[in-house]
Amino acid sequence: MDDHLSGDERTAAFISSLRWADLPDPVRRKAKMCLVDNAAALLAGTPTRLSQISAEYAARLWRGDEASIVLHGKRSTAAGAAFANGNSANAIDSDDSARYAYGHAGAQLFPTVLALAEARELSGQRLLTGLVVGYEVAHRIGRCWHDDHTVYQACGSWGSVACAAAAAHLLDLPADQARHALGIADYHAPNAPMMRDIEQPAMVKHASGWGQ
């Protein structure tokens, strides 16, 4: 990769160019493990009231037939399915932790890549590669986000940028468009003051669905 590129340009180039063949075996195995772990968290969260409300909302607001809202017998656009499934994956706090981002990346990334892979009829390898892209960006943007905000931001804030990275990869966006996608996601990211939800618990939790 060109050493003369700026940081955001290098990130965009990585997003657009990464392929399954580029990944070493340990990374492939870890990606598969993350997929299984996140799928389990999603499935476990579907009986919750949060999941039920989200499924109804997504099916009505984002009417479409692109992707499945898992275990609710409903379908929506890819964005709607990602929103509903993201809330399910985070519903009972069984989702994974991104150590360097101080939060939960997988509950957002897995529903994003799952919905887009279904909508675009992509292979499992493409889905997993998108997941890897998302995690790589999540760990970095999450750390930067916390360093740049005085109020502790929940996962949906920095997760919006990570999900945009995964989506840009699966949509085959060229590097310049991927770079703009990250900027748009950053600008429109939800302001999610995490400590307020801890002090006064609510179903909105980590804003995982809204970050997508």
Please give the structure tokens belonging to residue 135: 């995690």
Backbone angles phi, psi at 153, to 5 degrees: -95, 135
Q: Which residue has the higher pLDDT, 11 or 7?
A: 11
Nearest to 90 by CA among 204, 187, 212: 204
Is the separation of the CB atoms in 204 and 197 below 8 Å? yes
Around 165, how many Cα atoms within 13 Å sit in the side-chain half-sphere? Answer: 31
| Model confidence pLDDT, tens digit, residues 22-50 | 999 999 999 999 999 999 999 999 999 99
Please give the structure tokens belonging to residue 120: 């675009």
Is the separation of the CB atoms in 81 and 110 below 8 Å? no
- What is the four-CA torsion angle of 22, 28, 30, 34, rounded to 10 degrees? 100
Question: In the prediction, which pLDDT does 99 show?
Answer: 84
Is the separation of the CB atoms in 93 and 45 below 8 Å? no
Q: Tell me the pLDDT band of 5, cut-offs 50, 70 and 90.
A: confident
Residue 177 confidence (pLDDT) above 70 = yes
Q: With H, G, I as helix, E, B as strand and everything else as coil, classify residue 114.
A: helix
| Model confidence pLDDT, tens digit, residues 112-145 | 999 999 999 999 999 999 999 999 999 999 999 9
Mean pLDDT of the residues in the chain: 95
Domains of the chain are 7-199 (1.10.4100.10)
* Percent of the chain predicted with pLDDT > 70: 99
Q: pTM score, two decimals?
A: 0.95
Question: In the prediction, which pLDDT does 198 show?
Answer: 86
Q: Which of 36-45, 60-69, 193-202 has the lowest mean pLDDT?
A: 193-202
Sign of the CA dihedral with 34 first, then 83, 195, and 181 last: positive
